[in-house]
């Protein structure tokens, strides 16, 4: 069988740690990135394709006669037309659970950074030599102990974030599910979560229920001293509404690891805001070396299962 990896640059591991993906397959080719108009040429003879974010629509899939398996090197499957793949008898397998600890760690780190001002003081350090005293008070820091963390989405990552937050003596509020409001005593209505939380962190999937969930109405229900954290999906947040809310002190700040468009355009309203309590990272919450290694291991198991069932 012939295989191809279409977006090698999305994984930062060295080649020798990625090669396990195609071990046992007859031929393999890797590309750093792949544009949509390059897919047919690069995949035409492939039986197995590995990709992270390259989009396979119905038209594309129907023109790949040898394709039998798509291994998605991520949790989300929205880049592949799953119905078309099923019609064409193409197996599609994603990977889940590989980055739970990494993303949870990033969320806690973001809260600490916003509380302490780590990111701000890095850019402010050149002013310290001119300070009249031993310290320089240019950021209003605070403790996260005793603060309330509101979780929107309570899957494996949400649960891990809650576990870590409790170790910092934070109070936890879990919002009701959008699809089926829970009767569990630990769940509370979203408006209560927003009005009581000092940090609101998003861990819900992108869906019709959650697209543009965070808009002006949502943000106005939050405390003016509260912070928003998004490590889920960019389109859950209306970026223009958030930019306006930050500019007008509707909320205190935000930490975003995902944006609507990735990479973002240079005119993104958040990138140009220059807000000292806005922390933006380039979709790297998932990408600890340990998580990437686990991703490759689990993706390889998906290939092994496929080969066993089609030998």
Asked about 203 being catalytic, the answer comes back as no
302 within 8 A of 92, measured Cβ to Cβ = no
**Residue 221: which of 209, 232, 213 has the closest Cα?**
213
Catalytic residue (one of 125, 262, 290, 310) = 262
Other Cβ atoms less than 10 A from the Cβ of 81: the count is: 21
276 contact partners, CB below 8 Å, separation of at least 6: 117, 120, 139
Asked about 36 being catalytic, the answer comes back as no
Catalytic residue (one of 283, 290, 297, 300) = 283
Helix (H, G, I), strand (E, B) or coil at 273: coil
- C-alpha 78/C-alpha 137 separation (Å) is 46
- C-alpha 171/C-alpha 166 separation (Å) is 7
- 């962190």: which residue's tokens? 201
- C-alpha 153/C-alpha 21 separation (Å) is 31
Asked about 119 being catalytic, the answer comes back as no
- 């960019």: which residue's tokens? 234
Catalytic residue (one of 233, 275, 300, 310) = 233
Q: Catalytic residue positions?
A: 233, 262, 283
């Amino acid at each position: 069988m012939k295989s191809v990896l279409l977006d090698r640059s999305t994984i930062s591991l060295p080649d020798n740690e990625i090669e396990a993906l195609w071990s046992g397959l007859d031929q393999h080719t890797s590309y750093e990135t792949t544009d949509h108009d390059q897919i047919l040429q690069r995949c035409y003879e492939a039986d197995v394709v590995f990709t992270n974010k390259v989009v396979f629509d119905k038209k594309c899939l129907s023109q790949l006669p040898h394709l039998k398996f798509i291994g998605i090197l991520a949790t989300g499957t929205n880049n592949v037309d799953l119905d078309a793949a099923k019609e064409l008898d193409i197996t599609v397998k994603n990977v889940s659970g590989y980055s739970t600890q990494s993303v949870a760690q990033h969320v806690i780190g973001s809260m600490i950074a916003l509380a302490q001002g780590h990111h701000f003081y890095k850019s402010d350090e050149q002013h310290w030599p001119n300070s009249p005293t031993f310290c320089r008070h240019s950021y209003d820091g605070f403790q996260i102990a005793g603060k309330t963390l509101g979780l929107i989405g309570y899957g494996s990552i949400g649960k891990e974030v809650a576990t870590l937050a409790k170790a910092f003596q934070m109070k936890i509020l879990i919002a009701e599910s959008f699809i089926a409001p829970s009767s569990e005593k630990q769940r509370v209505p979203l408006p209560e979560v927003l009005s009581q939380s000092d940090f609101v962190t998003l861990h819900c999937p992108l869906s019709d229920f959650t697209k543009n969930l965070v808009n002006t109405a949502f943000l106005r229900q939050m405390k003016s001293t509260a912070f928003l954290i998004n490590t889920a999906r960019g389109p859950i947040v209306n970026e223009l509404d958030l930019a306006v809310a930050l500019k007008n002190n509707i909320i205190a700040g935000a930490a975003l690891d995902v944006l609507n468009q990735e990479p973002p355009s240079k005119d993104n309203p958040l990138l140009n805001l220059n807000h000292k309590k806005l922390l933006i990272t380039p979709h790297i919450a998932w990408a600890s070396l340990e998580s990437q290694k686990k991703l490759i291991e689990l993706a390889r198991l998906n290939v092994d299962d496929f080969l066993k069932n089609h030998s």
